[in-house]
């Protein structure tokens, strides 16, 4: 399968990378990346245009799609497997990369030089563990651990179990500098300096939530090992506590996944902010889907808001503000903390309309309210507690 791809790229500077090359891939989830390297003198604009055109010509007649990251690349489907064909610049060791993928050969070289058959099996265990608890993947949709970070963790701690043992005591911000010391300060919750470029944090994508999930899962696994951590059970149903609002967003065209999910996350956070400002108690929110359709879920304490609410104003000693507050409000009093208070009538705003108005995406889309179905992710969202925890 890979040989067929390489045959199409004959005459170009093409190499196989990813977990397939490093032999750390998971069954049914092989990460097959073929990189086509070009001289750095060609420039980034050339990479986005002519380089892609050249690669597309090589796969004429085959099943492929153009995908997007920092710059476009090809996803070729062959014998039931997807192979990413990625253009990159060939840079010498020690030089700053021009694009994010230019470091890839150095990552492959480092992992191969620091692993053997045993440690590669340990990496597979860690990757499946991360996948099972929902934190595997550095894309914005997941904000979790990349395959390379999983490899670095096992190299640093020697085994899957020792990695979990170390992680069980983490409290962010965490710095894992066993392999190399960082050459600058980082602000992310998890810092793992890239041994091929210590100016880069290999774990910059990991969110606090993903880090916390990994720490908690590590702690519970060490207490009571179970296959639930690797292959969690599906739970149907899920009691609705509070009120649930579901929307489906249908996109008119495919867009880069990181671009889409960045916009989805920002839109949902804006909706949560507006809901809270309007007086709604937001229990949780979630989003699931692909490049064609995304479903949004908002779980609220209640959709029925009281007619009146307490409005707290300035402290008693803020004279100008107090005078204005008294003149503009009825039923004014001072609470036990010395703050001016009054009662206001709530402006009626439908939660559904607030959410709709918050969803802004660059591609054209249609948004529609839907009823709860039997989709596994809805049950998981409502259940809250992961199967490995309880």
State yes or no: cis peptide before 173, omega within 30 of 0: yes
pLDDT at 298: 97
Cα–Cα distance for residue pair 263/242, rounded to 1 Å: 27
pLDDT at 238: 64
Q: Structure pTM? A: 0.89
* Parallel, antiparallel or unpaired: strands 243-251 and 197-201: unpaired
pLDDT at 32: 82
154-181 confidence digits (pLDDT tens)? 999 999 999 999 999 999 999 999 999 9
Conformational region of residue 384, where left means phi above 0, alpha means psi within -120 to 50, and beta covers everything else: left
Tokens of 116: 């053997």
Conformational region of residue 183, where left means phi above 0, alpha means psi within -120 to 50, and beta covers everything else: alpha
Q: Are the beta carbons of 67 and 84 closer than 8 angstroms?
A: yes
Residue count (the chain): 390
Q: Would the CA dihedral through 178, 184, 188, 194 be positive or negative?
A: negative
Paired strand residues for 244 = 299
pLDDT at 237: 60
Question: 325 to each of 279, 321, 332, how far by Cα in Å?
Answer: 21, 6, 8
Three-class SS string for 241-307? CCEEEEEEEEECCCCCHHHHHHHHHHHHHHHHHHHHHCCCCEEEEEEEECCCEEEEEEEECCCCCCC
Q: Would the CA dihedral through 218, 169, 140, 297 be positive or negative?
A: positive
pLDDT at 373: 67
List domains and CATH numbers for the chain.
1-102 (3.30.460.10), 114-232 (1.10.1410.30), 243-305+349-374 (3.30.70.590), 308-345 (3.30.70)
Which residue stretches of the chain have pLDDT < 50? none
pLDDT at 354: 95
8-53 confidence digits (pLDDT tens)? 899 999 999 989 899 999 987 766 899 999 998 888 888 888 888 9
């Amino acid at each position: 399968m890979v040989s067929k791809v390489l045959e199409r790229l004959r005459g170009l500077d093409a190499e196989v990378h990813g977990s397939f090359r490093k032999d750390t891939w998971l069954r049914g989830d092989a990460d097959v990346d073929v990189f086509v390297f070009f001289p750095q003198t060609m420039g980034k604009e050339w990479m986005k245009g002519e380089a892609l055109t050249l690669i597309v010509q090589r796969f004429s007649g085959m099943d492929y799609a153009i995908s997007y990251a920092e710059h476009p690349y090809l996803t070729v489907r062959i014998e039931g497997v997807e192979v990413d064909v990625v253009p990159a610049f060939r840079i010498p060791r020690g030089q700053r990369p021009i694009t994010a993928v230019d470091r890839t050969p150095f990552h492959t070289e480092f992992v191969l030089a620091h692993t053997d058959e045993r440690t590669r099996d340990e990496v597979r265990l860690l990757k499946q563990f991360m996948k099972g608890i929902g934190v595997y993947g550095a894309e914005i949709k997941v904000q979790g651990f990349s395959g390379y970070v999983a490899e670095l963790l096992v190299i640093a701690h020697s085994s899957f179990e020792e990695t979990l043992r170390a992680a069980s005591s983490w409290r962010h911000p965490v710095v894992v500098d066993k392999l190399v010391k960082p050459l600058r300060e980082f602000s992310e919750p998890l810092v793992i300096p890239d041994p091929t470029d210590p100016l880069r944090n290999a774990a910059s994508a990991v969110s606090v939530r993903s880090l916390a999930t990994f720490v908690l899962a590590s702690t519970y696994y060490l207490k009571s090992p179970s296959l639930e951590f690797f292959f969690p059970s599906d739970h149907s149903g899920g009691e609705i506590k509070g009120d649930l609002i579901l929307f489906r967003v249908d996109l008119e065209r495919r867009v880069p996944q990181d671009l889409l999910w960045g916009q989805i996350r920002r839109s949902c956070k804006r909706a949560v902010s507006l809901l809270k400002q309007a007086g709604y108690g937001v229990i949780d929110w979630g989003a699931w889907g692909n490049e064609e359709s995304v479903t949004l879920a908002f779980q609220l304490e209640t959709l029925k808001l009281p007619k009146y609410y307490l409005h707290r104003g300035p402290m008693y000693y803020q004279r100008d503000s107090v005078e204005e507050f008294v003149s503009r409000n009825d039923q004014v009093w001072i609470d036990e903390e010395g703050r001016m208070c009054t009662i206001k009538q709530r402006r009626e705003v439908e939660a559904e309309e607030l959410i709709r108005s918050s969803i802004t995406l660059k591609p054209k889309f249609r948004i529609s309210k839907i009823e709860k179905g039997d989709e596994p992710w809805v049950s998981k969202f409502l259940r809250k507690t992961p199967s490995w925890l309880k």
